[in-house]
Amino acid sequence: MPHSQLETSLEQTACAASGRREELENAELLFGSGLLDEARNSALAAMEEFPLPASLMLGRIALRSQNFVEADYYFRRALECENAATTRLFLVAALTGARRPQEALSELCVAIRELPETARMMFQVGGLYEALEQFEDAEAFYERSLKKQPAPRVQHRLGTVLLMQNRVADSIAVFESLCRAEPGNIDYRIDLGTAYARSGNFENALSCALEAIRARPEDVMALNNAGYALQCLNRSQEALQFYDRAVVVDPDYAPARFGRAVALLKNGAFATGWAEYDWRWLHGQSMRTDLKVPFWHGEDLTGKTILLHSEQGFGDTLQFIRLAQDVARLGVRVLAHVPPALVRLMENVEGLAGVYAAWDGSVPIDYHCPLLSVPARIGLIPANFPAAPYLSVCPEMQKESGEKLRHTVAGKGDKPDLIVGLVWAGDPRPHDKAAAHTDGRRSMTLADFAPLARVEGVRFVSFQFGVAREQISTAPFPITDAMDGVTDFLDTAALLSGIDLLISVDTSIVHLAGGLGVPVWVLSRADGCWRWGENVSTTPWYPQTRIIRQEKAHDWAPVIAEAAGLLGQVVDIYRTTLAGVA
């Protein structure tokens, strides 16, 4: 090539490179001005000549546009050009945005080894652990961030992960400190109210929610929190006003829609409450996806087969399995899928053509329906509740278990003793945070029952299961453990036939005894479950059940004192008439 042509070619190459460098500079300016499409075009034009800075710019543009897949691609291309820790932090941001926290955490741990440990870095690591629900690790990194540089947003996240670990008192302390430091910060006030509610202090929870609403009248979270607090204070009619306001602001806000359903049911507005209750599928409960037939919404079932299935705890299944007979009257063959511990008991429930502990899809069905969605489909109201008893135990098992228990426990004196079953704790369900918080308010200890033992003429039997059963070994009064050898709910039902009365916290055995027609006294926590209504001592679900209500969360002494007084009256009547408990 002649010298003059070579010079011309070199000049053209230099001009092209200079032009592409200008494209990069232009991309930076356009990016800073928010002109993302134009910035992207300029960066793409520079990609071949300057792959590292162009890839970084394209990744940043994608990140700001929340196109996290594209951001991931370009930041990885940049890392191929140069393995820089700062570039890896951009990749972490893309993975976090794409809700891939495990990958983000892995990349961040690589970056941390190459960078100084900063408060911001520790905060970012804590956030990823929080996203992975590894709350202890999140707490540790938030604490490390705070030691390097105190910051309200880090303290806020610390309070949140403490709450998620059920360390409610510690969480309240953090949120109270934030509210003192920034009294005008409504988000802190809302979260403090949430922590108060978890602790059972619904008065303070309500105060926080109302304060937030005064500042932000259309804040759906604050409105929902006010509704929830009022509902837990047994003021469901007032709660509905706040839930309704939240639904007006955001008709799709599932916590308020589901909270409204519960408040309606608790207030006795069953028809409307059941209609709203399906919002639970968008509020923490997952619909089954293994069933390949339609969800029953009320279609004609004549000549069809439907599968009713459990969805929550044992108690819900025990309470609502009674509706199988109503569904069967629609001309449909009814099958049930229930936990294994319930199968034998359910085999004799009216209306069921088959009961399954496992469901493999081999039995043809036309529809399926979770048990707690049945009420809305059949228009269930107290006037048409299927009456108890709807559960039963064969005479042979009653004799073998119930009569044997009674003979073992009963005294031999001239006057008959009342045989009373006790249950003082529910299943803590640590895997279910909401259920675990509730259990902390509904459960007590066996020692709390001691005043009952001062009532003469009573023999006590424990029907307690789980870890709380260990308390029997240190019981402060004589009590017989009936649960040795019990394998399922049918075994328990047979034993219940041998007692006169069950006194229990609100757990599954209440529904077992109620469904069998055994007299029950439910010791209901202050924020009682919706199914027990408000300010009444009876329930249409189980006519032989009395509700003894707690006035203040965690304060069981007045509840037990009331139960002891009633128990003394029942013993007098029982010994006089030789009759059972009415």
Total Cβ atoms within 10 A of residue 573: 14
Task: For residue 134, give the CATH number of its domain.
Answer: 1.25.40.10
Give the contacts of 139 (CB within 8 A, at least 6 positions apart): 126, 158, 161, 162, 165
pLDDT value of residue 461: 98
Please say which residue of 347, 363, 384 terminates a domain.
Answer: 384
Q: How many CB atoms lie within 10 A of CB 295?
A: 15
Strand residue runs (E) in 325-401? 333-337, 354-356, 367-370
Number of C-beta neighbours around residue 117 at 10 A: 12
Cα dihedral angle (471, 472, 478, 479), rounded to 10 degrees?
120
pLDDT at res. 33: 81
- Model pLDDT, residue 13: 40
24 and 108 co-located in one domain: yes
Residues 421 and 357 in one domain: no
Question: What's residue 4's pLDDT?
Answer: 52
In this structure, what token pair is assigned to residue 259? 């909270």
Cα 300 to chain center, whole Å? 33
How deeply is 233 buried, as exposed, middle or buried, from its count of CB atoms within 10 A (0-12, 13-18, 19+)? middle
Position 353 in a domain: yes
Query: What pLDDT sits at residue 20?
Result: 65
DSSP 3-state of 305: strand
Q: Is residue 464 part of a domain?
A: yes
Number of domains in the chain: 3
- What residues are paired with 419 via a beta bridge? 459
Helix (H, G, I), strand (E, B) or coil at 367: strand
Same domain membership, residue 451 and residue 324 = no
DSSP helix/strand/coil, 467: helix
Domain assignment present for residue 123? The answer is yes
Q: State whether 372 and 436 are in the same domain.
A: no
The residue among 270, 266, 201, 189 whose CA lies nearest residue 229 is: 201
Q: How far apart are alpha carbons 154 and 160 in whole angstroms?
A: 10
Structure-token match 């947003």, residue found: 153
Helices and strands, counts by H and E, the chain: 26, 10
In this structure, the answer to whether residues 369 and 517 fall within a common structural domain is no
- Alpha-carbon distance 340 to 355, whole Å? 10
Q: Which of 213, 248, 283 is the last residue of a domain?
A: 248
The CA angle 507-513-516, to the nearest 5 degrees, is: 145
- Report the amino acid identity of residue 442: R
Q: Answer yes or no: do 91 and 203 share one domain.
A: yes
Residue 420 is assigned to a structural domain of this protein: yes
Say yes or no: 379 and 399 in one domain.
Answer: no
Whether 58 and 155 map to the same domain: the answer is yes
Kindly report the number of other CB atoms within 10 A of residue 423's CB atom: 26
Domain boundary residue, one of 384, 412, 429:
384
Which residues are within 8 A (CB) of 252 and not within 5 positions of it... i.e. 6 or more apart? Answer: none
What pLDDT tens digit does each residue of the chain (582 aa) get? Answer: 554 543 444 344 444 445 567 878 888 888 888 888 988 888 898 888 888 888 888 988 988 889 999 989 988 898 888 888 778 888 888 898 898 988 888 888 888 888 788 898 889 888 888 877 889 989 999 999 999 999 999 999 999 999 999 899 999 999 999 999 999 999 999 999 999 999 889 999 999 999 999 999 999 999 999 999 999 999 999 999 999 999 999 999 999 999 999 999 999 999 999 999 999 988 877 778 889 999 999 999 999 999 999 988 899 999 999 999 999 999 999 999 999 999 999 999 999 999 999 999 999 999 999 999 999 999 998 888 888 899 999 999 999 999 999 999 986 666 789 999 999 999 887 677 667 778 889 999 999 999 999 999 999 999 999 999 999 999 999 999 999 999 999 999 999 999 999 999 999 999 999 999 999 999 999 999 999 999 999 999 999 999 999 999 889 999 999 999 999 999 999 888 764 444
**CA dihedral defined by 492, 577, 562, 536, rounded to 10 degrees?**
80
pLDDT score at 291: 92
Query: Are 71 and 64 a contacting pair, CB within 8 Å?
Result: no
Does 293 map to a domain? no
Which CATH number do you get for residue 570? Answer: 3.40.50.2000
Task: Say whether both 369 and 469 belong to one domain.
Answer: no
Same domain, 66 and 212: yes
Determine the Cα–Cα distance for residues 9 and 5; give it in Å rounded to an integer. 6
Tokens for 531, please give them.
Answer: 């199914």
What pLDDT is recorded for position 111?
81
For 349, the domain range is: 305-384
What pLDDT sits at residue 414? 62
- Assigned domain for 380 exists: yes
Are 411 and 516 members of one domain?
Answer: yes
In a domain, 297, yes or no: no
Beta bridge partners of 505: 523
What is the pLDDT at residue 8? 43
pLDDT of residue 581: 47
350 lies in the same domain as 463: no
Whether residue 193 is contained in a domain is answered as yes
Instruction: List the beta strands (DSSP E) in 384-457.
Output: 418-423
